[in-house]
Amino acid sequence: MATAFPIASLQRVLRALFIPALALLAALLAGAIVMILSGDDPLAAYSGLFQGAFGDGKGWARTIRKTVPFILTGLSVALAFKVSLFNIGASGQFVIGSVFAVAVGVNFEGLPAFIHLPLALIAGIVGGMLWGAIPGFLKVYTGAHEVIVTIMLNYVASLFAGWTVYAGGTQGQTPGPLWDRTAGAISETQDVLASAQIPWLFGPPYRVHYGIFIALAAAILIWWLIFKTPLGFEMRTVGHNMRAASYAGIRVNFTIILTMALAGGLAGLAGGIETLGLNHKFAPEFGGAVGFDGITVALLGQTHPFGVLLAAFMFGALDGGAATMQFESGVPADIIQIIQALVLAFVAAPLIIRMIFRLRQQTQEEAASAVSTSWGGS
């Protein structure tokens, strides 16, 4: 069995990649149809997209820069999925993480970088964890569904973040606590101190910072947590069968709250890294759209940490190449968002993919077991 293991696991990986890869392909095809309908040349567009994403050093830099937050928000959603929790709140957690990180980043002048930067990153994680734990608590103690609560908290987070950097009004309204007094009427924070900025891996014009390594490490850590530790076993057990988990002596409520907090922490870390590594300040327009994309990335990555890495890289490349595509072919960069949305639609509906590509139906046995377990209750 020990010798057969690598082959079996390789087959499993390939099988898991099959549908997501086809979903991506289908979305690109559908995007091409949209372009043809609007009189554009899809070949020119996709060649521009590829050039923009991988054509030169700057392209690679853009792709990697965009990939970082996708990895972390994708991990956030994927981790919650493992416990059968649907974290729609990565967006709000991202924003809160940004605000917490910037609050530490602009203060504490004189701290050495090796203390200040980790402190600011941890602040981002803590902010996201708090924001993620709230829906966990509400689910456990009131039965409020985490989907509703996380969606609502996205608005709360974005409004709260807006207030912290509010420039004050013409009628003398109080400005927000993090507002940069030198920014005039603009609502934004001052730049985070150099000691709290994530150093460049490749400086301008490439602007790739060390955050990519933090994101990669997070993916490995989450994989290890889920599949190798007793805590991960508990989380997966709760995700599969809550009753069996309580039978086995697992603290189900604690596990749910902890998972939501950890998921929030990952999204918060994404916000912290974007703020401390790239934007160097917070302003409302640095919102958490990337948090919503985390849902797509997690699903495209089959909710596996390493799948999330691949999916995030794909999305990073799409975003990284979009501007060049518009410049080269005249196709508006917004088409990329359509393609990303279509990816979600196709991943979420594998049957459509099977139909488009005329794959053999699920074997009847699979279909039969799907039928016979659908209302079985277990």
Partner 1 sequence: MTQSQPSPNDRHEPDSPKLEAQGITKLFPGVVANKEIDLALHKGEILALLGENGAGKSTLMNIIYGLYQPTEGQILVDGNVVEFHSPRDAIDLGIGMVHQHFQLVPVMSVVDNIMLGSESVDRGLLNRERVAAQIQELADRYNMPVDPNAIIEDLPVGVQQRVEILKALYRNADILILDEPTSVLTPQEIEGLFAVMELLRSQGKSIIFITHKLKEVLRIADRIAVLRRGEMVGEADPKTASQENLATLMVGRKVTLEVEKEPASAGDVLLELRAIEAFTDRGEQALRGVSLDVCAGEIVGVAGVQGNGQTELVEVITGLRPATAGSVLINGRNMTNAPPRRITEEGAICHVPEDRHMYGMVGAYSVADNLVLNSYYKPPFSSGLTMNQAEIAQHAEELVARFDVRTPSVNTSGASLSGGNQQKMVVAREFGRPISLLVAAQPTRGIDVGSIEFIHSQIVAKRDEGVAVLLVSNELDEIMALSDRIAVMFHGQISAVLPRSDATREKIGLLMAGVRADD
Determine if 6 is a binding residue for partner 1 (CB under 8 A). no
> Is 11 a binder of partner 1 (CB under 8 A)?
no
Pick between residue 65 and residue 82 the one whose CB is nearest to partner 1: 82
Smallest gap from Cβ 4 to partner 1, in A, equals: 11
Q: Does the protein bind partner 1 through residue 186 (CB under 8 A)?
A: no
Nearer to partner 1, 154 or 303 (CB): 303
247 binds partner 1 (CB under 8 A): yes
SS3 letters for the chain? Answer: CCCCHHHHHHHHHHHHHHHHHHHHHHHHHHHHHHHHHCCCCHHHHHHHHHHHHHCCHHHHHHHHHHHHHHHHHHHHHHHHHHCCCCCCCHHHHHHHHHHHHHHHHCCCCCCCHHHHHHHHHHHHHHHHHHHHHHHHHHHHHHCCCHHHHHHHHHHHHHHHHHHHCCCCCCCCCCCCCCCCHHHCCCCCCCCCCHHHCCCEEECCCCCEECHHHHHHHHHHHHHHHHHHCHHHHHHHHHHHCHHHHHHCCCCHHHHHHHHHHHHHHHHHHHHHHHHHHHHCCCCCCCCCHHHHHHHHHHHHCCCCHHHHHHHHHHHHHHHHHHHHHHHHHCCCCCHHHHHHHHHHHHHHCHHHHHHHCCCCCCCHHHHHHHHHHHCCCC
Using CB under 8 A as the binding criterion, the count of chain residues that bind partner 1 stands at: 29
Among 251, 327, 341, 357, interactor with partner 1 by CB under 8 A? 251
Binding partner 1 (rule: CB under 8 A), the pick from 200, 240, 327, 341 is 240
255 binding partner 1? (CB under 8 A) = no
CB contact at 8 A, 266 and 222: yes
Interacting residue with partner 1 among 243, 327, 341, 357 (CB under 8 A)? 243
Interacting residues with partner 1 between 102 and 141 (CB under 8 A):
none
Q: Which of residues 307-346 bind partner 1 (CB under 8 A)?
A: none
Q: Which residue is it, tokens 């985070």?
A: 192
Q: Do residues 320 and 65 touch, judged by C-beta distance below 8 A?
A: yes
Q: Smaller CB distance to partner 1: residue 14 or 228?
A: 228
362 contacts partner 1 (rule: CB under 8 A): no
223 binds partner 1 (CB under 8 A): no
Q: Which residue stretch of 203-211, 248-256, 267-275, 303-311 sits at the interface with partner 1 (rule: CB under 8 A)?
A: 248-256
Binding partner 1 by CB under 8 A: which of 217, 248, 341, 355?
Answer: 248
> Under the criterion CB under 8 A, does residue 303 sit at the interface with partner 1?
no
> 112 vs 249, which CB is nearer to partner 1?
249
Stretch in the footprint of partner 1 (CB under 8 A) among 17-25, 182-190, 198-206, 366-374? 366-374
109-117, 182-190, 240-248, 283-291 -> range binding partner 1 (CB under 8 A): 240-248
- The residues that touch partner 1, with contacts defined as CB under 8 A, are 1, 224, 228-230, 233, 237, 240-241, 243-244, 246-251, 364-365, 367-368, 371-378
